[in-house]
A and B are shown apart, each in its own frame.
Chain A
Amino acid sequence: MNATTVETLETMRKKAKDAAEPRQLSDEERLERAKEAFLANLDSEMATHLESCIHCGMCAEACHYQTGTQDPRYTPIHKVEPLKRFYRREVDPLRAIRRLFTPKLTFQDLEAWKPLVYDGCSQCGRCSILCPMGIHIQQLIYVTRAGLAAAGLAPDELQGPADEQLRDNTLFGAGSEQLKEKVEELRGKGYDVPLDKDQADVLVLSTSHDFIGDSGTLEATVKVLNHTGVDWTIRSDAFESSNFGFLSGDEAAKKKISERIVNAAIDVGAKRVIISECGHAYPTLRWEAANLHQKALPFDVQSISEFLAAELEEGRLKVEKDDGGNRTWAYHDSCKMGRLGGAIEEPRAVLRAMGIEIKEMESHGRTNLCCGGGGGVILMESAQGLRRKAFTLKREDVDNTGATDVAVSCGGCRTTLETGKAETNWNINIHSLVEMVADRLAS
């Protein structure tokens, strides 16, 4: 497999766990920290959502972990219960009355909800589209994650990398040195790689996946960028697009990791920041970074699929069309890039430009089904049973199109699909969008 292999996933899990720093706090301190995190995130939008639930349970049908297991505990709004309980007792305008009927939130509650909030939620946001009350359940679950992370309850597989990113500016052991080695390897193949330029129009982000596995994504990205002729650079001190602060719910880490990229982009005078095929990095930088920075960013943030579509439109990117052989193509939307990011049409435009017509899955675009491994689930050892059950739904959706080939523009989704493929002997070819483009550049 081209993306991260099953063996390297095991290695990543071990590295992640080893990187986690001990959090020696009493249960009371943990509970207080969780409450502080809940309160810090409770604005009028959150309150409006928390006030609107009618316990209809419809959100259960949107969740691949609930439908995949038929376990009602995975009903999305149920995952929010610790936050709801805190709101009712501490913030609700009727809290004086609510306290009489709402049990106190305890540290044990937080512990009990950990498998629901982390293992059983990929932060895909499908429930937020279905809820008839319009409750943004994904956001509420994220805030619940933030509370648990503040209490030191984030799984080591997610907290460890967040700690490592903050402490060492590396991820799974890969940092500036490994990037430089990779750049030298690419230069050896004849590529011009403008590493650490002082000024550039475009700042490109990669991810440590490219150094751990045998991924060709960075090479493909370099090839495509050079083809377009844009003035670009990659920074050895700020190339990592992944933000494990977001995945773990560690808000302080999320902000610092995000600021590292924002400051690097400002330093080089970038007009655009382009995110490699990393799903969760996109909404984090495109939609949250400015808010973490507390002012509008002086550059645009694009996913690689948006960049490719824009460059095709501008005529700087030229690709050769092929008929896709005798194959049937589907496109898997990453939840973070698509539903939570908005880059839904762009990857399809890129595929069309290459002459590839896709058969849409029943759930695609804004209602796509998660691959099962998003939100860090693919990394969590305890979540693999759930991940497999959710994957079967995705596989069914793909198989119903008759697809022989699936394109995807997210490294995490690709790893999850490849893992599911290996585990279930799935007869399908999985392709990275940017690698497909790199293979079809017009000479």
Chain B
Amino acid sequence: MTLLEFARGPGFQIALALLIVGILWRILGAVAIRFGKDFSKPRGGKQSIRGGLKAVLTYSAPPHELEKNIKFQHYTGYAWHIGLFVVIFLFGPHVFFFENILGFGWPHLPNAVVMVTGIITMAILVTLLVRRMIHPVLKVLNNADDYIAWTVTFLPLLTGTLAFYHLGARYETLLALHILSVELLMIYIPFSKLMHMFMVWPSRFRTGTDFSRRGVEA
């Protein structure tokens, strides 16, 4: 079995299984441990669930007076997440990959557009890594997970770009490394802060319902 065959076959299956089991384990373990009941009377009898659902969206755009000092971080955060989305879901070969699994596909962007997006995304990630290393607040918060999560997110972008331009090794080898780096990311997600892609929604919802119950928009 070649490296590429391993990456496309058992490697992918193992990574997918760990990803799914890990995500379910962590979500169930955290979200379903013990629910508290709130006996207080909601303000104006308002449905706090609606406030929670609203907060899922509104936390994406904090009020100006709070956001004004974090604009760089906020917008670069949006930019690289959007970049990553474009690269994963709107790159032709990726769409074909998903089509093979799901049975349906969707339109994709021209390769050149995706490549430029990927390179910009990597540049932002490098900038944010440097910022993480030197920013006084982040230096207080940083731990190993911050750097490992950065690395496993960056590697698929890097290996994918190298594979597309056939840089550094045979295409098959680069493609295998690219797929393996994605599998590394998949395996690491449940063990890391990358779980925020799932946890952010119940977290925003819970805080949103809590504030909404009190008559305050979160």
- List A residues at the B interface (Cβ < 8 Å): 42-45, 47-58, 60-62, 66-67, 70, 72-73, 75, 77-78, 91-94, 97, 101, 126, 128-136, 139, 283, 286-291, 293-297, 300, 338-342, 344, 362-363, 366-367
Once the chains are docked, how many angstroms separate the CA of A290 from the CA of B40? 5
Q: Which residue of A lies closest to B136 (CB)?
A: A72
Please determine whether A134 and B55 come into contact, CB atoms closer than 8 angstroms. Answer: yes
**A295 contact set on B, CB distance < 8 A:** 39
B203 at the interface (CB under 8 A from A): yes
Q: Which residue of A lies closest to B144 (CB)?
A: A101
**Interface segment, one of B9-17, B62-70, B115-123, B164-172:** B62-70
Q: Which chain B residues numbered 11 to 47 have a C-beta less than 8 Å away from chain A?
A: 25-26, 28-41, 43
CB <8 Å contact, B40 and A286: yes
Give the shortest distance, in Å, between B135 (CB) and chain A (any CB).
7
Q: Is B94 in contact with chain A by the CB < 8 A criterion?
A: no
- Identify which of B70, B207, B213 contacts A58 (C-beta below 8 A): B70
Contact partner, A57, options B40, B62, B135, Cβ 8 Å:
B135
Chain B interface mostly helix, strand, loop or mixed? helix
Between-chain CB contacts (< 8 Å), 13 pairs: A44-B35, A49-B203, A55-B145, A73-B140, A93-B26, A93-B29, A133-B204, A134-B59, A135-B207, A136-B210, A342-B214, A342-B216, A366-B211
Interface band, chain B: 35 or more
- The digit string for B189-218, where 1 denotes a CB below 8 A from any CB of A, is 011010110011011111110110111111
- How many angstroms from the CA of A289 to the CA of B40 in the assembled complex? 8
Contact A134 B207 (CB under 8 A): yes
Contacts of B56 in A (CB 8 A): 134
Contact between A126 and B66 (Cβ–Cβ < 8 Å)? yes
How long is the Cα–Cα vector from A297 to B36 in the complex, in angstroms? 17
Q: Which B residues have a C-beta under 8 Å from some C-beta of A?
A: 25-26, 28-41, 43, 55-56, 59-60, 62-63, 65-67, 69-70, 73-74, 77, 135-146, 190-191, 193, 195-196, 199-200, 202-208, 210-211, 213-218
Q: A340 contacts which chain B residues (CB < 8 A)? A: 214, 216
Question: Who on chain B is nearest to A339 by CB?
Answer: B216
Query: When chains A and B are docked, how far (Å) is the Cα of A55 from the Cα of B213?
Result: 28
Q: What residues of chain A lie closer than 8 Å to B214, measured between beta carbons? A: 283, 287, 340-342
- Whole-angstrom distance between the alpha carbons of A61 and B64 in the complex? 12
A137 to B100 alpha-carbon distance, docked (Å) = 43
A72-B136, A297-B41 in contact; A291/B36 too (CB < 8 A)?
yes
Tell me how far the C-beta of A85 lies from the nearest C-beta in chain B, rounded to whole angstroms.
11
Nearest Cβ distance between residue A104 and chain B, in whole angstroms? 16
On whether A57 and B26 interact (CB within 8 A), knowing A134-B200, A340-B214, A341-B214, the answer reads no
Residue among A57, A75, A290, A344 making CB contact with B216, cutoff 8 Å: A344
Given the complex, which residues of A lie within 8 Å of B142, measured CB to CB?
55
Q: In whole Å, how far is B153's beta carbon from the nearest beta carbon of chain A?
A: 12
Given contacts A133-B196, A342-B43, contact A55 B146 (CB under 8 A): yes
Contact of B34 among A42, A57, A288, A338 (CB under 8 A): A42
Cα distance, A61 to B66, chains bound together (Å): 7
Q: Select which of A43, A52, A283, A294 is within 8 A of B203 by beta carbon.
A: A52
Looking across the interface, which residue of chain B has its beta carbon closest to that of A340?
Answer: B214
**Given A129-B63, A129-B66, A134-B218: A291 touches B40 (CB 8 Å cut-off):** yes
**CB <8 Å contact, A52 and B200:** yes
